[in-house]
């Protein structure tokens, strides 16, 4: 074999290995990526029962019911549609009515979303105290920030 042919063979083998690795990574990522749906997206589509999904939205005002010390019912909304959620477990500290949340679970036969995990979203306007003080000192502070 000539040196030119050996280099070509080495380049082809390297490309095949890289291509195989990329395909393997993409295949595994496809199965592990978890997107969340909004309540109006779920209303418009036919979600299968027993399929684990995530729902993102806000906890609807005056919808939170504490059934027992670790059992809760509330509605998650996106201002267009809302979904009744049942959860057994400990809620995060930031969880409250009007606050953003991402709920993971599945629908039961009676159209109640049985949550297995609840993730509370923090306020997007959060700012560390030191930055807040420096903005006040320079005169760039907006009173709408918290």
Q: Is residue 139 part of a domain?
A: no
Cβ-in-10-Å burial (0-12, 13-18, 19+) of 72 comes to buried
pTM comes to 0.63
DSSP 25-47: HHHHHHHH---EE-HHHHHHS-P
Please state the domain count of the chain.
2
Over residues 1-43, the pLDDT tens digits come to: 788 999 999 999 999 999 999 999 988 887 677 677 888 888 7
| Residue 14 in domain | yes
* pLDDT tens profile 78-121: 888 889 999 999 998 888 888 888 899 988 877 889 999 998 87
State how beta strands 71-77 and 82-88 pair.
Answer: antiparallel
Residues spanned by the domain of 115: 36-120
Q: Are residues 62 and 111 in the same domain?
A: yes
64 and 98 within one domain: yes
- Going by C-alpha positions, the residue among 34, 115, 46 that lies closest to residue 76 is 115
Non-local (6+) Cβ contacts of 36 within 8 A are: 53, 54, 55, 56, 102
Same domain, 59 and 77: yes
Higher pLDDT: 73 or 100? It is 73
Same domain as 42, residue 29: no
Does the structure show a pLDDT above 80 at 45?
A: no
Tokens of 58: 């806000």
């Amino acid at each position: 074999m000539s040196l030119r042919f050996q280099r070509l063979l080495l380049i082809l083998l390297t490309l095949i290995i890289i291509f195989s690795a990329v395909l393997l990574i993409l295949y595994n990522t496809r199965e592990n990526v978890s997107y969340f749906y909004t309540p109006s997206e779920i209303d418009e589509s036919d979600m299968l029962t027993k399929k684990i999904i995530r729902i993102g939205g806000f906890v609807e005002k005056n919808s939170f019911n504490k059934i027992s010390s670790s059992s809760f019912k509330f509605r998650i909304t996106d201002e267009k549609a809302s979904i009744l959620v049942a959860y057994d477990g400990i809620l995060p500290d930031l969880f409250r009515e009007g606050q953003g949340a991402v709920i993971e679970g599945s629908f039961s036969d009676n159209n109640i979303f049985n949550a297995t995990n609840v993730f509370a979203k923090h306020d997007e306007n959060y700012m560390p105290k030191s930055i807040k003080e420096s903005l006040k000192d320079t005169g760039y502070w907006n009173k709408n920030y918290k």
